[in-house]
Amino acid sequence: MLLPLPLLAAGCSSTTGAGPTTATPPATSSGRPVAVASPPPGALVIAVVGDYGGCAVDCSEEQKVADMVHSWAPRAIISVGDNAYDPPDKSAADMLPYAADIAAGRFLAALGNEDYGDNCSQATVAARLAALHQRDRHFVSTLGAGLLDVFVADTECGEPDGFTPGSAQAVELKAAVARSIARWRVVVGHRPPYSSGPSHGNPGSTWLAPPGTDLVLSGHDHNFEELVAGGMHYVIDGAGGHGLHPQCQPACAPQSVWRDDSHFGAVRLTITQSRLLVEYVAVGGAVLHSFALTR
């Protein structure tokens, strides 16, 4: 069931209804990377991480990403899944760099295949759910006093409400997005519908983009990528610290706009009433690529 979470205010006024969305060309897809700029006054800053949770074994890259993300002082951190790669008793250690965020309720995590122990058993996910502050497997969170609704879905085979088009979860997600009055609507799910990485995308995940969605965030492939299909922007952000996956072997996805498989990092969303800016930021602070949706 998609359960609403308590509204997290961020100093932005709410707006009912939303006009058409357009995308501006990538700002940094060519030339030298630029440093992350300060957000405009009143903007809602959200960090996105994914495929990171291996701190119980090796925390070096994961900690670098977390340190960078925390330097942005984000209102919330979205995880696109794979929060823990090690046995259930080490889940908390795997997520240690984000422990304070989890405790404060500002960590909005999707579940990935590793969170299920890479199988379909509900038993394996219990410890992960407890570590993720007892949130449901899929839920809705309202941020910025109605500026943004985040719809966190569960794309894994252990999800009892289903994980395919036409499933109970997909029907609920479509209805939840349709009744949202937020200015912007972002859907989060671990497995990407399209990808140039090893998964080559999962066409069965296209239900993550019901009408009214502005942006879909995923992980699973350990790299960065922006893809556009049917006018919808899809972002893969799986470079949170647990290794990197090569792309375009043997070929890039036809939906691919920009991609990188050489840097660990995170995505920063800067959101105002009129713009949703997406920045791919490598460890060290360089913006490798960005695009903006405007309304």
141-175 pLDDT per residue, tens: 999 999 999 999 999 999 999 999 999 999 999 99
* pLDDT at residue 16, rounded to an integer: 32
Q: How confident is the model at residue 136 (pLDDT cuts 50, 70, 90)?
A: confident
Taking only the tens place, the pLDDT of each residue in 92-103 is 899 999 999 999
Structure token digits, residue 74: 């984000």
For the chain, how many structural domains are there in total? 1
Confidence check: pLDDT of 26 > 50? no
Mean pLDDT for the stretch of residues 68-73: 97
What's the mean pLDDT when you consider all of the chain? Answer: 88
CATH number at residue 127: 3.60.21.10
pLDDT per position as a tens digit, 190-228:
999 999 999 999 988 999 999 999 999 999 999 999 999
* Residue 114: predicted pLDDT: 92
- pLDDT at position 32: 60
Indicate the burial class of 200 (C-beta count within 10 angstroms; 0-12, 13-18, 19 or more): middle
pTM: 0.89
Query: Domain residues for 213?
Result: 3-294
Q: Does the pLDDT of residue 31 top 60, yes or no?
A: no
